[in-house]
Structure 1
């Protein structure tokens, strides 16, 4: 009963699937869609032409006396047959190449929509394993499904047009064959829908394992992890883990493939039996002289073409059914875009002429109950340098991300001159320049590595050089083989890599490149030598040029000149004040400062 209702829903869903497929392909490339459809229709006409010409040739060749065969007419028909056959073959090549191009355009359109979602998604989204599983499933399966839809749709158009024409021909020549041929396609429809459900279930079940295996492949093949993997001699162990995951996936895939093969065998058997029955009936009609030899010959050709086209039609319907569940999954992912995106704001930077205030802010990461921050208060006035210090795991970087508008607080709020950051949306990020300790080393030219700090003016050479000079990066960037146009990666011809300290200066230049009222530097000197660190902080206010700054640091000597220092412990601000005030208070800051100072004695 349940299976019956499911089949009924499948049939009712067919017009929706077809309409959806047509819209998807037409939106991606209207002209390409029209050209591909035209090729399919021309191919259908050519197939009908082969049957008609074949019938006419058999009529002529049945003449008892060879002298009565009209040579001129025979030559015309033979020429027409050769021409139509050649055209039919060429149309097939045109169809496949046009579908190849159209499939690429459709896949590109799908990628653009996926990238719209990932580009707008809040940073918290990337803390969710559920989001990653869904993204992996979309990348592995749904992205390629539009190409499958494209192929299936045009096979359906071409096969459907030819099928209609062949059915008309068979209806004229031997109408009793039609029910037999159509009945052979019923198992194909039923099996295709069952296959779509099992294929989606397989993809959902294997997504976490595929993600882990792909990550291991990245570790074992990328340049960045290579040195540590070899330093710890970990390649063999990681390879064993990769191979074990691959064996697990292959075993699951083998079961799925065998399941699909059984379904295909049932479909092929039903189609073969239907064709055999049709040809048997046709032979009986010839033997009983119900139809002529010429009609039988044309009917055989029509039945053979019709059988192939019916297989094509049912196969394309199967592709559409199978793709439907993955496209539904893609649609669900794309629907996340509006829910995950932050408000766009006004398009201007958030105002910072009075005070940036953190008011009773708490935060817990998705899927956790223990808060990373609890009831934090903090103030940053224009031009001030404010520091966050504390032991590892105290919540410093989490608080910095909330102030930068990258995380939304679980409780409390952040205001810019009294305006709630939740309402300002992207205006907050426009007003902030953030460099984290784990900054990205873009495999771009040096100019773009700096320019990405201000993406709208990335190509401005003077601005990039000015920012590099302020960060102390101009000296080593200017002597690269192509200067600022050198790609900062040895993975590209002519590229060069930098030392960790040099990379950190490039990252600082990226922050200085942005015209932001607040600069957030998370461990900005972690890879600089003591002299470079001292030089940077000795003139930090000059480098900031009147901007406010939030410094996150483990080095207490780096922040002693800050206007105000906030000390975090287990997600709470336990004290704040100037360096001298905190030392005099003899609290946690004074204790940690003394412990760190002893290491230099």
Structure 2
């Protein structure tokens, strides 16, 4: 089996999966659309026949024979009316069907994203790339495919009906013409697949050029591009790469064009031979002038329709490739899932890890045989160097991943339940979190706090005050102010966004509170204010605080030190300092980072600098 036939089979399979979806999105509109397209496809054949009848009629008039002028005029008017009616009807139906189908596809994408409740699949690089392609094409690929299918149907009906008109010359004529044109059509489809523009290619070279353009044009790169004067370098590099790649494409296109020439010669030989045959038949009096006109117009129309079909086939291949990714995405197996019969949620927030290990895809273990018991209501600080496994531990508790080995138990005593046996939505409803890389939704401040939950004025007030967000609000920035540049909203500072992320966690009122570097973007005064609030809100809640700023661990009942995926120290702040281990070293290192600048400043002042 060749790769090309395999590809064609895959595309055909994708089409068979896609057509039922198209039909289910809007059955009546879709049926009307394809019927209208088929009706349009009959018009070229009707035009060819009217041309033959007109020439035969005029020839008859010149010989003094009667002609049914009313029938000719009626046929011409009917064809013109059909053309004028079907074109706008097709356009209206196509717009309606595309709207419904695009909505249908987007809903399926969003529903599937809801079903993928973990991060294991989403963080697979290939899956992530495919997801970006799907998101980018969801707004136009359904419309493009629909348009291509309608025009392809129209072209197919037109080609078949025009070929059928050649039966009036001889039963063998359509067979000879199609046999002469089909090889050219197949070669033209291969030629179309080369692509006409560098900027629609999907090769590594094309992606490099497109990336250079994005760096030069996108706002997220603007500060460095301007500060370091990167623009001329980017422009030169993009120009050099583009010209080099264009030379490669030019060579490919030239070779493709040269391979077309023999098939063009074959088609011209067939059509030219048929024209000569019909003229000879007319000279011998075996056929009329109308038959000559029919062959001339039919051959031109058939060649045009087959050429259009090759173009539609090429475009359809591109669109179906996108839909192949869509179906693969919709059918991708999900790793983290809620159990079919979940157990009841335990009554308290006690968390126990029993020999938990975890490794990301193709990576060494991030956690190694971690055993840990956190009683309900306890505040635990988790510290350690980058890559120690702190964030991984949080992801496992939120069940974004499942452990590679070991178990995570929720609850105490006889009520302990494996986290994998709980309803995932119910468990996460009991958890509030402030992530280091929190989401910045370009909605109003109020919507950013509520995140789809009903508004409770008392809880909203506590969240705004407790997060320090009250200081952000003023006459020009209220809870109903739109945020973000995409919709012309207000842009908050980094600290303002972090206070907002804290407010949404506080509003949730959950039993388990997770703080992953919650004050990384705050100044010392704001940090002290927020941690004072956290200390109050953590009472009665199981709280995990991941932080690099060791001064913030003073609010914790207990400190865990992670290193290379293992818990190497566990105890109170004072006890760990007295032990003189890893935690004491980290504490002393941070203390020196604050002391050394002060000492340097005092030394500079004493020297009169």
TM-score by length of 1: 0.83
Q: CA deviation at 1:576?
A: 0.5
Q: 2:526 aligns with which of 529, 532, 542?
A: 532
Evaluate the alpha carbon distance shift between residue 268 and residue 527 of structure 1 in structure 2; reply closer, same or farther with a 3 A threshold: same
2:492 alignment partner, one of 474, 495, 498? 498
What is the alpha-carbon distance in structure 2 between the residues aligned to residue 195 and residue 560 of structure 1? 70
- Counterpart pick for 1:328 among 316, 319, 324: 324
* 8 Å contact kept, 1:521–1:550: yes
Which residue of 461, 465, 471 corresponds with 1:469?
465
Match in the other structure for 2:438 = 439
Residue 389 (structure 2) pairs with residue 395 (structure 1):
yes
- 2:376 is matched with which residue? 382
SS at match of 1:36: helix
Greater Cα shift, 157-166 or 495-504: 157-166
Of residues 358, 376, 388 in structure 1, which corresponds to 2:353?
358
**Distance of aligned partners of 1:332 and 1:229 in 2 relative to their CA distance in 1, 3 Å threshold:** same
1:380-409 per-residue CA deviation (whole Å, 9 max, x = no partner) reads 222221110112222212222222222322
Separation of aligned partners in 2, 1:226 and 1:432:
38
Give the deviation of 1:237 after TM superposition: 5.0
5 Å-filtered alignment, 1:473-552, equals: 473-481=469-477, 483-493=478-488, 495-544=489-538, 546-552=540-546
Shift of 1:506: 0.7
| Alpha-carbon distance in structure 2 between the residues aligned to 1:350 and 1:244 | 62
Distance 2:408 2:179 in 1: 68
Structure 1 vs Structure 2 CA RMSD:
3.9
1:222-237 to structure 2, matched below 5 A, reads 222-235=218-231
Aligned residue number for residue 418 of structure 2: 420
Q: Secondary structure at the match of 1:507?
A: helix
User: Given that residues 120 and 341 in structure 1 are in contact (C-alpha distance below 8 angstroms), is that contact kept between their aligned partners in structure 2?
Assistant: no
* Residue of structure 2 in register with 1:287 after alignment: 283
Q: How far apart are residue 510 of structure 1 and its match?
A: 1.4
Secondary structure in structure 2 of the residue aligned to 1:484? coil
Q: 1:32–1:275: structure 2 CA closer, same or farther, 3 Å change rule? A: farther
Q: Distance in 2 between matches of 1:419 and 1:203?
A: 54
Moved more, 439-448 or 252-261: 252-261
Aligned partners of 1:349 and 1:427 also within 8 Å:
no
3-state secondary structure, aligned to 2:120: helix
1:501 shift after superposition: 1.9
Report the alpha carbon displacement of residue 565 of structure 1 after superposing the two structures with TM: 0.9
Report the equivalent of 2:162. Answer: 166
Q: 1:275 to 1:36 in 2, by over 3 A?
A: farther
1:22 is matched with: 19
Q: Are 1:43 and 2:40 matched, yes or no?
A: yes
* SS of alignment partner, residue 570 of structure 2: strand
Deviations along 1:552-591, whole A, 9 cap, x unmatched?
Answer: 1112221123121101122211110111222232222122
* Length, aligned pairs only: 587
> Could you say which residue in structure 1 is the equivalent of 2:601?
none
Q: Conserved in 1, the CA contact under 8 Å of 2:26 and 2:100?
A: yes
Residues 446 and 477, structure 1, Cα contact 8 Å, conserved in 2: no
Is contact 1:136-1:207 (8 Å) kept? no
CA pair 249-341 structure 1, distance change in 2 beyond 3 A: farther
**Does structure 2 retain, via aligned residues, the 8 Å contact 1:352–1:382?**
no
Instruction: Name the structure 2 match of 1:129.
Output: 125
Partner of 2:604: none
Match of residue 406 from structure 1: 400
Is residue 344–residue 426 contact of structure 1 (8 Å, CA) maintained in 2?
A: no
Give the 3-state SS of the residue equivalent to 1:63 in structure 2.
helix
Q: Retained in 1: the 8 A contact 2:14–2:323?
A: no
Q: Measure, in 2, the Cα distance between the counterparts of 1:510 and 1:449.
A: 7
Going from structure 1 to structure 2, the CA distance change for 1:484 and 1:344 (only over 3 Å counts) comes to: farther
Q: Which runs of 5+ in 1 are unaligned?
A: none
Whether the 8 Å CA contact 1:127–1:365 is kept in 2: the answer is no
Counterparts in 2 of 1:230 and 1:412: CA distance versus 1, 3 Å: farther
Separation of aligned partners in 2, 1:344 and 1:262: 61
Cα distance in 2 for partners of 1:540, 1:13 equals 56
Task: Please state whether the residue corresponding to 1:488 is helix, strand or coil.
Answer: coil
Unmatched tracts of structure 2, length 5 or more: 596-609
**Cα 1:193/1:226, change in 2 over 3 Å:** closer
Name the SS for the 1:169 alignment partner: helix
What residue is the counterpart of 2:305 in the other structure? 309
Instruction: Supply the distance in 1 between the matched residues of 2:568 and 2:26 (Cα, whole angstroms).
Output: 60
Equivalent position to 2:551, from 541, 549, 557:
557
Please state if 1:177 is matched with 2:153. no
Do residues 56 (structure 1) and 53 (structure 2) align? yes
Kindly state the Cα deviation for residue 316 of structure 1 after the two structures are TM-superposed: 3.9
